[in-house]
Structure 1
Amino acid sequence: MLFIIKKLGDELDLIFSRKLSWGGNWSLGYALYWEYGTEEPFDFTYLMISFIL
């Protein structure tokens, strides 16, 4: 079986994470994504709150 992998772009992530006092975690992230063939990056910002049930 032969797989051909084509590069789609490059990504740089910056993530801040911290435990919450009531048992969860929060993460705040910022990502820059350069699509192959373009000079201007796409930027993404997100906030995630998670719990283990």
Structure 2
Amino acid sequence: MASVITRIRRFLNSPQGRQARMRAERYARDPRNQARVRGLLHRFGGRRR
């Protein structure tokens, strides 16, 4: 059986994986989503200052 990492790499190199990666990158660039993630990290104890 292929390792999990190998299966993930194979998926990311497939056409569907490339589309998913492009959607995730576009989502990550959106300032509203960045603020939402920062709020969740702050709320759940991520990166204390």
**TM-score, structure 2 normalization:** 0.23
- Give the structure with the higher percent strand: 1
Structure showing greater Rg: 1
**TM-score, structure 1 normalization:** 0.23
- Give the structure with the higher percent helix: 2
